Structures are given as structure tokens and as C-alpha cells.
Structure 1
């Protein structure tokens, strides 16, 4: 079944949460807006789990650590470590 996309205001979502959750369980999803600007999406647990399965299991900090381990030599090359550079004091 294709998901149906609908927009609702935050106040409508607050007043009709039970019926929105029931609709979400049948495959619909809702963009929730505050003052006309989108701020959240209400989706089913099944859809959320599916989205989570598409993301890396490692997490952000693990990805950063992996990048740092691979790029260590490149990072070291960013600094000029030569001792014969001219320094102006005062």
C-alpha cells in the first residue's frame, strides 16, 4: 500500500493525535507544521524501523573515528612543521 502524505498543523495534531496515529498505522504519514513551517513528520513504527535499517549502524562518532584513523597522515600534512620559517614577534 502506498503511503498517503498529508499536512496538518501542530494544533490539529495535538487535538486529533489518536486518529492520526490510527491513520499512520494504516500507511499514511503526516507532515506537522508550526506557523506554516514544517517541523516534524508522523510515521508508523514500521516505516521508522525501515528508515533506520537504511542508515549505518555505526553512528556518527564511530564514523568520525574511522575517518580520523584513515586521514591521520593527511591531517598531519595540513600543518607546516618546518623549523626554518620566519617568525615576527612584537
Structure 2
């Protein structure tokens, strides 16, 4: 079960709050009795945080995972490249 601290309590015992999180026990911070944040260990955050990857790597992973074949026409702009209407000028 997560430990819950008010923000004032957490401020007064920040080292204890950090120790709880480091030990693998998430700590919930509350304001006026409502949860507003959770402190977790750095390793847990790394596990939960989305990993960013380059577009090319994401496309390769998509192709590999779904056996999808994509060609250049899949990436052509969907917007009409012809000149649009003129801008209104007073």
C-alpha cells in the first residue's frame, strides 16, 4: 500500500519520503486531502516512462511487428499542394 503524505509533511521529512520511494514503495503527495502527485524510484520511473525513438526506428519496428509493407506513398502529404485562396486584406 502506498504511503500518503500531505505536501507539508513531505517537505518536513523529504529524506524519509525519498527513502520510501527508493525502497520501491511509491509515495503519494496530497493537497487538501486529494492526491496530486506520486513519487517513485528512479528505476521505476525509467520503467514506466515512454521511450522515445527516432521515426525510422519506429517505422522499422512497426514493419517488423505487424508485417506491414509501407512505401513512400504512405508518407506523401495528404494536403493539396496547389496554391490556396488569397489572404484577406482590409
Counterpart of 1:51 in structure 2 is 48
Q: Is residue 16 of structure 2 the alignment partner of residue 12 of structure 1?
A: no
Contiguous gaps of at least 5 residues in structure 1: 63-68, 82-90
Q: Take 1:46 and 1:56, find their aligned partners in 2: how far apart are those partners? A: 14
Q: TM-score, normalised by structure 1?
A: 0.56
Runs of 4 or more above 2 Å deviation: 69-72
The aligned residue for residue 37 of structure 2 is 40
Matched residue count: 68
Aligned to 2:21: 24
Structure 2 gap ranges (5+):
56-73, 85-90
